Structure 1
Amino acid sequence: MKMASSANTEACYVALLGLAENFRTSNPPNIKLCIHCLQSILTLQLAPKVETRTRVQLGNILIAHTKNTDLAISNLEKAWELACNTRDVDDVKFESASVLAQIYEQQTQYELAKPLLQTALDMSQQSPYWHCRILFQLSQLHAIERDFPSAVRLLTSGIEVAGKSRSEYTKLLFLLSRGMLLLIDKKTGDVHETLTTVSSLIETYNGPTIQKESLKVFFLILQVCHYLMAGQVKSVKPALKNLQQIIQTITQLHTDEEPDSSNPVDLFQWLPIEHMCVLVYLVTVMHSMQAGYMDKVQKYTDKALMQIEKLKMLDAHPILSSFQLMLLEHIIMCRLIMGNKTVAIQEIFQVCHVCQQQPRLFTTHGAQIHTLLGLYAMSMNCMEAAESQFHTAIKLSRGTELAAFINLNLAIIYMRSNRQDELLQILEKVDPEKLQAQSHGLKASANYVRGLQSFFQARYNEAKHYLRETLKMANAEEINRMTSCSLVLLGHIFLSMGNNTESLNMVTPAMKLAGKIPDVHVQLWASSLLKDLYRLSGDKAQEEEGCRLHTSFSQSLLKDHFQSSQLSEHGLIHWTEGTCPFHLNTT
């Protein structure tokens, strides 16, 4: 009887499993019946290993196709418990830990995810593939919590494991991942050393073409970001061009071919090619923004966002939302520079909606959101709101670079409101001499703000000294917007000193460059100076043209200012704590 019962159980298990798979793969899939079949299997008297496998399958399907996260967690926790009670070292055991940790991470329950992965890591010593996979996953958790030393230690361990397993490809992935964390942690010297080492290793790598090209993309992304974080906008051009050429090459390869390797440790992928394409668009947008090419910012942002929308329909991977946020952050700054505040505030609201889908993003991007609100409020002359937003952003800011950028904007607010005590305190924090570790562009900006302060105090020679330093730095790396701002301010200084010829020599190229960007605020400022300069020189025709331009820019900005102030989203400038007031959005 026992043998018959066992045979019946086996037959039922096979039948239900077949039905479940049939429902899952039917067109259209019937996920509800698939889940019912898997749940029915769990009512049978199953061997622990079979029950573990079934619960992992059920957990995966619940996560992929339903919102019943609690039931998924319950099945995966039971699977992990069963797996821990067996001595088997198999895929199902480690998959249950890995998937469960991913869910904990999405729910920001890092205190549950980390010990779970650490236990799985200790158990996976005899399974190199899973050992490497869990090393990647656990290091990512530490990186999210900004515990970079722990994350780097795990990746260093992965380099050793991949080396012992004779997987040059995965060893390079660990090396590049470590380089990425060192870059985020601003360990500039270590980043340079890592990139130098990896560059020669990639060149001598003889694996499949698709893997080699993917490694090159990863390497070049890090190299480009390394340059951009240092504000080296001109120096990065060769690396960026190389990256754009390689991504075109890689999209033409036969990506459906499996890597020709019998070594399971080779079976990792940094990013799907479609995600790499979005990332290349993103770094191109970052470069265009720093260089002051607003037309390119808009062009590549539109392409990238369209690609993200297509990819999200197939698989809403969390990294796509992060890419989307960074793209929106750049296009919003672009709108503000171009004098399009109406669209900017609506896009800031869009940023909040993207974060709402994954609440953890409010933590990782909160400082940027409040910085953007501060910049928007400044452009609307709402200085109290701007100050509040910047103070909120500084509290949330984890990086000194963003804090320095915010402080530079706070300094301008204090100048405009003649709050000298606060201005002196903030200028101490952004002294160009103390920003040696910061980016080239940030140091140039700090000199500009010093020049602006000296101008307001009518210390013209001192102002010229700071602005010439700014120009030297901006021209060296082709930071066009900083060049145009410095030229127009120098023009204003020379006009104030009565040197009209030199003023015209500064304002004319400033106007031309601002038109190329286009920076409507610099154009407004420059056109105001030009009409005064031509009036003083008695050139009526040019004076009239200056007046026409100044009126055109003024009316355009006033119209946009009024439209933006009427939007319900404008009320976001008063949000500094608590959850985002989504009720303000009327669309």
Structure 2
Amino acid sequence: MNSVDAAKPLLRKAIQISQQTPYWHCRLLFQLAVSTAGLAEMRGYLLGAVTLGHSCPKLFPALHVHCPPFILHVLLCLLAEEEAGQAQLHTLEKDLVSACDLLGVGAEYARVVGSEYTRALFLLSKGMLLLMERKLQEVHPLLTLCGQIVENWQGNPIQKESLRVFFLVLQVTHYLDAGQVKSVKPCLKQLQQCIQTISTLHDDEILPSNPADLFHWLPKEHMCVLVYLVTVMHSMQAGYLEKAQKYTDKALMQLEKLKMLDCSPILSSFQVILLEHIIMCRLVTGHKATALQEISQVCQLCQQSPRLFSNHAAQLHTLLGLYCVSVNCMDNAEAQFTTALRLTNHQELWAFIVTNLLYSLLERINPDHSFPVSSHCLRAAAFYVRGLFSFFQGRYNEAKRFLRETLKMSNAEDLNRLTACSLVLLGHIFYVLGNHRESNNMVVPAMQLASKIPDMSVQLWSSALLRDLNKACGNAMDAHEAAQMHQNFSQQLLQDHIEACSLPEHNLITWTDGPPPVQFQAQNGPNTSLASLL
């Protein structure tokens, strides 16, 4: 039995004998739920940062005067957790069902002792775990209840707004996980307004009248980074890549400042997730060399934390697979995607990887039947992949059916990149069929949308098609202009391709097993978007 397992009976004993002390009883329930779920990041917030009395003794000196007997159990279990270390903690079996039950017990206890604030914290934490378990039918009523509690609770303004941020973050990520990029906009706007409100509030040194209220969720600075992060996630899915770049830069600068003073593991997790998104952005906009250097930076962060690598290994190999596709190393791409599939049991990531594998796993991509994801975005992408495959096989009517379904779904949720890709492929099909007018009606808006994103590959494809269309229609000047655009895009992509393949980090494409290889790291570190701003 490891030290973390040994800590759990101590926690249960402490919980049993602390029922007359609401602050400690709630804190211990949080702690046991975190240990049961095996979530290192959650431990940092629901144990260390979550308790005002623990982190700010000068504000709550009464907590340090009286020491009830169960404090000994608390100290023992905390010591056991520290001795276990992150390497053991990340390997724990994540019993999310039991953790949800414990959080439910905490919510009911908080209700009984009259703490609607801490009840909301317990319920929101439970909602987060239910989202992780993909128990969506249970999430909806729980979030509805949380919304009512948060709006009705009257108390410290910062605590109230932090509850609203927690609630809105769960709502936004729920929408984004479902690929509902358009539907999420009202919630995202509320979240952004909420974080602006919090930034103007001062931390009031007011002792809550109810000792069960002596908790907070996140520091304001961490909430700010989190809001930047979900904004980046939305911008990436919607195809607003310049906006994604802007908010990534802001978030990375904020993280750089925070990490000088704070060693919380959640900050590194935020950094990795931001980099994962901006890497995909670089690959789309034709900056493969920068993307590769940022992949190397993710490797370095994962080398520093076994837990972080365990949580992000599949995503890291997926990013390497996407990079391999962008530089036409298809055998390496397949190896990377296959490795990622082996490392994940997450349905959405599985679907994303399989969609990118395309040919070798096409039979597993069937959006019409038993496609195992609820994400609107991924289902739309699956229809596009089937349309592309039908096009290559010369089954043009079938391809058009799949692509029109993609357009219908992508237009419904403002999935701009999928819209651009579908339009240019439909334009190509109409061109092959000799319907030049309809082809032009597809390609021109595809080019405009791709320029707005900006998506270099779609611009390259669209300009080549416009060149050929204008030639076929006898429009010499327009054909020449399109040919010049195509040449410019080709040169930019070729130069970036050569630069990326010449980097030492390019050797990462051969890594498919074990931790990230140290020998492939650049000596001076990657040239990240943050570094370019400093």
Name the structure 2 match of 1:111.
5
Is the contact between residue 309 and residue 515 of structure 2 (CA under 8 Å) also seen in structure 1? no
One of 535, 539, 553 as aligned partner of 2:475: 539
Q: Residues 475 and 302 from structure 1, CA distance in 2 versus in 1: closer, same or farther, beyond 3 angstroms?
A: same
One of 209, 216, 236 as aligned partner of 1:262: 209
User: Greater CA deviation, 136-145 or 116-125?
Assistant: 116-125
Q: How much has 1:123 moved relative to structure 2?
A: 4.1
Name the structure 1 match of 2:34.
140
One of 284, 293, 296 as aligned partner of 1:346: 293
Name the structure 2 match of 1:245.
193
Give the 3-state SS of the residue equivalent to 2:19 in structure 1. Answer: helix
User: Greater CA deviation, 470-479 or 263-272?
Assistant: 263-272
Q: In the aligned structure 2, how far is the partner of 1:391 from the partner of 1:302?
A: 32
Q: In the aligned structure 1, how far is the partner of 2:240 from the partner of 2:186?
A: 17
Is the contact between residue 168 and residue 205 of structure 1 (CA under 8 Å) also seen in structure 2? yes
Q: In the aligned structure 2, how far is the partner of 1:515 from the partner of 1:235?
A: 24
Per-residue CA deviation, residues 393-446 of structure 1 (Å, 9 max, x unaligned), is 1111131010011000111xx2xxxxxxx445333xx43432374210011001
Q: Residues 112 and 298 from structure 1, CA distance in 2 versus in 1: closer, same or farther, beyond 3 angstroms?
A: farther
Give the 3-state SS of the residue equivalent to 1:350 in structure 2. Answer: helix
One of 395, 416, 423 as aligned partner of 1:480: 416
User: Which amino acid letter does the alignment assign opposite residue 178 of structure 2?
Assistant: A
User: Which amino acid letter does the alignment assign opposite residue 118 of structure 1?
Assistant: R
Q: In the aligned structure 2, how far is the partner of 1:173 from the partner of 1:485?
A: 43
Per-residue CA deviation, residues 302-322 of structure 1 (Å, 9 max, x unaligned), is 000100110111112111111
Name the structure 2 match of 1:155.
103
Per-residue CA deviation, residues 123-154 of structure 1 (Å, 9 max, x unaligned), is 43343222211221221233234321111001
**Following superposition of structure 1 onto structure 2, how do residues 229-240 of structure 1 map, counting pairs within 5 Å?**
229-240=177-188
Q: In the aligned structure 1, how far is the partner of 2:397 from the partner of 2:178?
A: 29
**Following superposition of structure 1 onto structure 2, how do residues 270-285 of structure 1 map, counting pairs within 5 Å?**
270-285=217-232
User: Which amino acid letter does the alignment assign opposite residue 25 of structure 2?
Assistant: H
Is the contact between residue 162 and residue 170 of structure 1 (CA under 8 Å) also seen in structure 2? yes
User: Greater CA deviation, 144-153 or 467-476?
Assistant: 144-153
Quick check: 1:355 aligned with 2:302?
yes
Is the contact between residue 208 and residue 260 of structure 1 (CA under 8 Å) also seen in structure 2? no
Is the contact between residue 259 and residue 267 of structure 1 (CA under 8 Å) also seen in structure 2? no
Q: In the aligned structure 2, how far is the partner of 1:115 from the partner of 1:538?
A: 82
Structure 2 residue runs without a partner (length 5+): 39-92, 524-534
Q: Residues 361 and 504 from structure 1, CA distance in 2 versus in 1: closer, same or farther, beyond 3 angstroms?
A: same
Give the 3-state SS of the residue equivalent to 1:269 in structure 2. Answer: coil
Structure 1 residue runs without a partner (length 5+): 1-103, 415-421
Quick check: 1:503 aligned with 2:503?
no
Give the 3-state SS of the residue equivalent to 1:125 in structure 2. Answer: coil
User: Which amino acid letter does the alignment assign opposite residue 194 of structure 2?
Assistant: I
Name the structure 1 match of 2:458.
522
Q: Residues 293 and 258 from structure 1, CA distance in 2 versus in 1: closer, same or farther, beyond 3 angstroms?
A: same
One of 495, 509, 522 as aligned partner of 1:559: 495
Name the structure 1 match of 2:332.
385
Q: Residues 125 and 534 from structure 1, CA distance in 2 versus in 1: closer, same or farther, beyond 3 angstroms?
A: same
User: Which amino acid letter does the alignment assign opposite residue 187 of structure 1?
Assistant: K
One of 324, 343, 366 as aligned partner of 1:396: 343
Is the contact between residue 285 and residue 456 of structure 2 (CA under 8 Å) also seen in structure 1? yes
One of 147, 151, 156 as aligned partner of 1:203: 151
One of 22, 35, 51 as aligned partner of 1:128: 22
Q: In the aligned structure 2, how far is the partner of 1:332 from the partner of 1:110?
A: 36
One of 355, 363, 375 as aligned partner of 1:408: 355
Quick check: 1:367 aligned with 2:281?
no
Q: In the aligned structure 2, how far is the partner of 1:243 from the partner of 1:561?
A: 39
User: Which amino acid letter does the alignment assign opposite residue 377 of structure 2?
Assistant: G
Give the 3-state SS of the residue equivalent to 2:328 in structure 1. Answer: coil
Q: In the aligned structure 2, how far is the partner of 1:398 from the partner of 1:112?
A: 29
Per-residue CA deviation, residues 352-373 of structure 1 (Å, 9 max, x unaligned), is 1112222210001111101101
Give the 3-state SS of the residue equivalent to 2:18 in structure 1. Answer: helix
User: Greater CA deviation, 508-517 or 575-584?
Assistant: 575-584
Quick check: 1:175 aligned with 2:123?
yes
User: Greater CA deviation, 462-471 or 346-355?
Assistant: 346-355
User: Which amino acid letter does the alignment assign opposite residue 401 of structure 1?
Assistant: E
Q: In the aligned structure 1, how far is the partner of 2:328 from the partner of 2:3?
A: 41
Name the structure 1 match of 2:283.
336
Which structure has the larger Rg?
1
Segments of 4+ moved more than 4 angstroms? none
One of 517, 523, 529 as aligned partner of 1:581: 517
Q: In the aligned structure 2, how far is the partner of 1:262 from the partner of 1:245?
A: 29
Q: Which has the higher contact order (CA 8 A, sep 6+)?
A: 2
Q: In the aligned structure 2, how far is the partner of 1:349 from the partner of 1:147?
A: 32
Q: In the aligned structure 1, how far is the partner of 2:481 from the partner of 2:10?
A: 71
Is the contact between residue 432 and residue 443 of structure 1 (CA under 8 Å) also seen in structure 2? no
Name the structure 2 match of 1:226.
174
Q: In the aligned structure 1, how far is the partner of 2:353 from the partner of 2:368?
A: 15
User: Which amino acid letter does the alignment assign opposite residue 356 of structure 1?
Assistant: Q
Q: In the aligned structure 1, how far is the partner of 2:112 from the partner of 2:146?
A: 18
Q: How much has 1:164 moved relative to structure 2?
A: 2.0
Q: Residues 171 and 552 from structure 1, CA distance in 2 versus in 1: closer, same or farther, beyond 3 angstroms?
A: same
Give the 3-state SS of the residue equivalent to 1:233 in structure 2. Answer: coil
Name the structure 1 match of 2:41.
none
Give the 3-state SS of the residue equivalent to 1:559 in structure 2. Answer: helix
Name the structure 1 match of 2:161.
213
Per-residue CA deviation, residues 536-575 of structure 1 (Å, 9 max, x unaligned), is 0111111111111111111111111111111110011111
Q: How much has 1:112 moved relative to structure 2?
A: 4.3
Is the contact between residue 179 and residue 195 of structure 1 (CA under 8 Å) also seen in structure 2? yes
Q: In the aligned structure 2, how far is the partner of 1:276 from the partner of 1:299?
A: 18
One of 406, 410, 418 as aligned partner of 1:470: 406
Give the 3-state SS of the residue equivalent to 2:154 in structure 1. Answer: coil
